[in-house]
Structure 1
Amino acid sequence: MDLASLFTPSADERIGLELECGLVDSDTGRSAGYDRARPFLESVLREFEAEPATEAGALVGVELPGGAQLSLELGGAVEYSSAPFHAVTDLVAATRREMPAIAALARGANLSLLPGGLVPFTPTASIPWAPKPRIDIMRRYFRGLGAPAAYAESVMGLTLSTQTTLDYLSAADFREKLTLLVKVAPVAAAMFVNSPLEDGRVTGVLSRRMQMWSQVDPARCGVLGFAVRPDASAGDVIDWALSLPMIYRYDGSGYIPGPARPFRELMADGASPTLADWRSHLSQMWPHVRPRHTLEMRAFDGVSWAALGAGPAFCAGLAYHGPSRRAALALLADVSAADLEQAWEDVAAKGLDALVGRRSVGATAEALLGLARQGLRARAEAGVEGRDAPCLLDPWTRWYAPA
């Protein structure tokens, strides 16, 4: 089995968006549950003339005609996954066409799509779990970890994000972009903090979601420490994944718990895991930046609808413009894995007032924002982006003057 085959570089650079929203009762703000989610998905299926996605006979998603998907998340939230686009402006335009129509169908059933970082009024004990067989396996696995996974169920059932996926073109491009995104993650997350509420209470922090993610599974979540090295590669990702057990696997008839041994041992002792097992195993890792066939920035809380394009625009402006990417790497050259770990903890509480190493997160964010804007301008001038691409960063101009 060629493990590296799932890290094949792309022929070009595209951008994808994953927008997670709570599906909540419009009157109470609490998660609606599957009995109300199913009719909503059925209405999307009809109105969009889409294709159904099912698990164990239950409708859990919709394949939209343009290539996007709407799926039911573990705790009853919904995720809009875009088709990939070459231009951020096209990505945002497509999302802004489809999501209002989807939200209107929810409104007709007295439901609301709620963006942000955490469903704010649903207690963990009342999460309405979706009818997905792997959920019970995951819950048992995390309970077996004890205190290090204290917030695993809250993360599974309540946290929300707006994620961006990016391509890489070669091994060298993979290394440079992975290092960039890992080092940028806590700084950029400070610009997106958007989960101050939990179970209807003000928590006193800016991102309760970020705090919860620190207690899920330290072996497969958090900062990819090896990525800060100048020689980081897909081989390091593979070695890391091989050291961990699968949480679950699909045996042809349904999901079952994974063997309680590292994936490497399964390969060595003749257990014959398949490429499908390996692909599934890689999806059972949740670092702030997840490297697979794409690089997935997962660090941000979900943003408001008005700022929808800010995350993918920021990522593409930095990562897809060589001069901006290299300038950002130079700016963060002395940031260590330990600095990033501490910054993640501090940003959750303090946002832009935190530090990354000895550097102000706010000042660093301002510099990165300027570089991202330069990158978007350059891409627009080259005809890769729409002319208004830099304007996608404008939600931040209330804090920063444009570079």
Structure 2
Amino acid sequence: MSSKLIREDLRSLFHKQPGVDEKIGLEIEIAVLDRDTGRSLPYEGQRGMRSLLEAFVRDGIGQPAYKGELLTQVDMYDGAKITFEHGGAIEYCSPVTHNLIKLIVTMQQSLRRLAETASTLNLALVPGGIFPFNTVENANWMPKPYGKFMREHFTALGDPGSGGEQLMAHTISAQTTLDYTSQEDLICKLRTSVSLTPIVVALFANSPLEDGESSGSLSRRTEHWFKTDPRRSGLIPSALQEEVTIDDYIDWALNNQVIFYATDGEYKSGEGLTFAAVLAEGFPDGRYPTLVDWRNHLCQLWPDVRTRETIELRAPDGPPFEAIAAVPAFWVGILYHRPSCDSVWQLLKDCTIEQHQVARADAARQGLSAQYCGKPIASLAKEVIRLAEEGLQHRINLGLEDPKVLEYLEPLKTIVETGKTFAESCIENWNGSLMRSPARFVETYRIK
């Protein structure tokens, strides 16, 4: 019988050996929509998620992966992985790379190939922040074995969990994964990226429609997060402190409930126990947690910035396909250039938790018109984009990037110059040239 985990075991997941490379990864959730109705599809059926994954295999895109008889994943030959998500989305998980050019070129080529296969089933792949024409009532729940435990958890929370099902069934995003080289480097990147959240929400807002109508929000996805167990999502309060440590993050994780765990391949409910409790007394079935359980528990936490062996940057809505490159370019420019990372922290470090929370909510509804710490988000966004550009230019000077990467920030510069977010352009198009037609919407925003 293995011994109980101790504090140092928990900390070991965050330990880095000297000489760690800083690599870049990208995870993009993409709505799979009927090209005529704009609605998502179920797992089964002639044009369901399983049929789409089978078509990817049939077209020579990758190898299938199964859990029992359930087709869950396609491992692409270029190293990417395609899985399915609740609501009827696929998730593209890129191979990690050392530079943005390789990451983006590979991503664009892969997604265009996936979209070409989807079109043979009269389906479209549409990035963004939300399923624009679905409701919770007609959501397509995918056969994920732990999904029922998450839904039960949100129901048990009452009002604080009332947005959980909407989030699971409706929202999509574009997440960047970066490395840290030491605990000190982790803290620098963690507090800077957390402090940036309201600005990032505004810059990348792209989820204004819900059930075919304007929701009154530019980032409806962000608003759903407000009622998706606030204890484990959104802001990590300690991350806004000058002297935050990895132990603060560990304490926060320990005090959150285990939603589900696996024993002998079978998923079971955590029955409301915190990880601190199961660490001391074991899971409900009597088994004591391992490092695998600790890692899985960290996956059940959904802050805007999540850390394990890497840093996952989760705040942005997914942009339109042509602008997806702006997401990793923004984060790499700031977080992989220490002077830019430090400058952003100095710019925002005096903001209180309360100011951060208010600004995040205001940014979701008002975009660049919102205020953060008494300053217009529009002016703050202009400055942090400049710092991101400085960071990318430094990497170009070192020979780590091609000069073309500076072009990846152009969509963000346009947003700041015009004051018009992706979401506001979407609403304008929906009520104008798209004539409120789901088919026109899908044709405009699908990957081609």
TM bucket normalised to smaller: over 0.9
Bigger mean CA deviation after superposition, 335-344 or 139-148: 335-344
Q: Which residue of 1 aligns with 2:374?
A: 358
Q: How many Å separate the matches in 2 of 1:82 and 1:49?
A: 14
Give the aligned partner of residue 100 of structure 1.
112
The one of 4, 12, 15 equivalent to 2:11 is 4
Match of 2:407 among 381, 388, 391: 391
Distance 2:265 2:311 in 1: 31
TM-score (norm 1): 0.97
Shift of 1:56: 4.6
Residue aligning to 2:22: 13
Equivalent residues in 2 for 1:131-280, closer than 5 Å: 131-270=143-282, 271-280=287-296
Return the alpha-carbon distance in structure 2 between the equivalents of residues 237 and 45 of structure 1.
Answer: 41
Structure 1 residue 54 displacement after superposition: 2.7
2:141 paired residue number: 129
AA aligned opposite 2:357: E
| Paired letter, 2:162 | A
Displacement of 1:121 in angstroms is 0.3
Matched residues in 2 for 1:54 and 1:155: separation? 26
How far apart in 2 are the matches of 1:223 and 1:51? 38
Could you list the per-position Cα deviations for residues 275-297 of structure 1 after superposition, in whole angstroms to 9, with x for gaps in the alignment?
Answer: 11111111000011111111111
User: 1:153 Cα deviation (Å)?
Assistant: 0.4
2:368 maps to a residue whose letter is: L
Task: Select between 168-177 and 52-61 the one with higher mean Cα deviation.
Answer: 52-61
Name the structure 2 match of 1:306.
322
Q: Deviations 1:17-75 (Å, cap 9, x if unpaired)?
A: 11111111111001111121111101112323523233352112111122211110122
Structure 1 equivalent of residue 384 of structure 2: 368
Matched, 1:27 2:39: no
Deviation at 1:260, TM superposition (A): 2.1
Matches of residues 82-101 of structure 1 in structure 2 within 5 Å? 82-101=94-113
Q: Provide the TM-score with structure 2 as the length reference.
A: 0.87
Is the 8 Å Cα contact of residues 55 and 132 (structure 1) preserved in structure 2? no
Is the contact between residue 317 and residue 324 of structure 1 (CA under 8 Å) also seen in structure 2?
yes
Q: Is the contact made by 2:65 and 2:73 (CA closer than 8 Å) also made in structure 1?
A: yes
Q: Distance in 2 between matches of 1:31 and 1:393?
A: 31
Counterparts of 2:354 and 2:57, CA distance in 1:
47
Q: Which runs of 4+ in 1 moved over 6 A?
A: none
State the distance in 1 between where 2:114 and 2:329 align. 23
1:134 shift after superposition: 0.8
Report the secondary structure of 1:397's partner residue: helix
For residue 372 of structure 1, report the CA deviation from its aligned partner. 0.3
Alignment match, 1:315:
331
Q: Could you tell me which residue of structure 1 aligns to residue 443 of structure 2?
A: none
The percent of aligned pairs where both chains have the same amino acid is: 39
The yes-or-no answer on 1:111 pairing with 2:120 is no
- Give how far 1:380 is off: 0.8
Counterpart amino acid of residue 330 in structure 1: Q
Matched, 1:47 2:59: yes
Q: Which runs of 5+ in 1 are unaligned?
A: none
- The number of residues matched between the two structures is 401
More displaced 10-residue stretch of structure 1: 126-135 or 2-11: 2-11
User: Which of these residues, 301, 316, 319, is aligned with residue 285 of structure 1?
Assistant: 301
SS in 2 for 1:255: strand
Structure 2 gaps, min length 5: 418-448
Give RMSD over aligned pairs: 1.3
Aligned to 2:430: none
Contact 2:162 2:227 in 1 (8 A): yes
